[in-house]
Amino acid sequence: MNTSHSGGETLRLEVPATLKYLNVVGACVAGLLAEVEDVAERDTLSYTVQLGIHEICTNIVQHAYAQQQENNRIAITMEMQTQPRCLCVTLFDTGERFDQSAAKDPLLDEGQVHGYGLFLVRNVMDEVTYSRHPDGNCWRLAKNL
């Protein structure tokens, strides 16, 4: 970890874009949150943040990289900010563009097999933004602590 400009700590990692590395990402999140003092319901917070990040990573693997088969990576930056006190996570991939207009909220009364991921992320995180850059996709997730 190195000290960032916002008074917090920053962790950067890059993982292969496969589902089997989600446990590594989750362990990093849990480790960062374990170091934060005065956090209410730490276990619940850690679980929900990991869930949000896992959902975005899963979407990257299954959708952004659906047509690309080799050497796919996800670059992740986790920044523990002090003012305001927040965990900000940026996920970057070089896969296909995400079509925001195609991401509809699930029909909760009718039930469905797919389509809950982004809805879930938006409900467990305090901020969820997506942007397309010339060289790839960038997701920014934030959770106030």
Res. 47 pLDDT band, cuts 50 70 90: very high
Contact 46, 53 (CB under 8 A): no
C-alpha to C-alpha distances, 141 to 68, 91, 122, nearest whole angstrom? 25, 8, 9
List own/partner pairs for 73-76 with CB under 8 A and 24 or more apart.
Answer: 73/14, 73/15, 73/16, 73/17, 74/14, 74/15, 74/16, 74/17, 75/12, 75/13, 75/14, 76/12, 76/13, 76/14, 76/15, 76/25, 76/28
Res. 128 pLDDT band, cuts 50 70 90: very high
Contact 138, 90 (CB under 8 A): yes
- Asked whether residue 113 carries a pLDDT value surpassing 90, the answer given is no
- Asked whether residue 7 carries a pLDDT value surpassing 60, the answer given is no
Tell me what pLDDT residue 40 has: 85
Overall average pLDDT of the 42-66 stretch: 94
Res. 54 pLDDT band, cuts 50 70 90: very high
List pLDDT tens digits, range 69-91.
778 999 999 999 888 899 999 99
- CB atoms under 10 Å from CB of 136, counted, come to 17
C-alpha to C-alpha distances, 48 to 42, 53, 109, 138, 141, nearest whole angstrom? 10, 9, 23, 20, 12
Mean pLDDT, the chain, rounded, equals 86
Q: Which amino acid is at 110?
A: E
Q: Which domains are present in the chain? A: 2-144 (3.30.565.10)
Tell me what pLDDT residue 68 has: 75
Tell me what pLDDT residue 2 has: 37
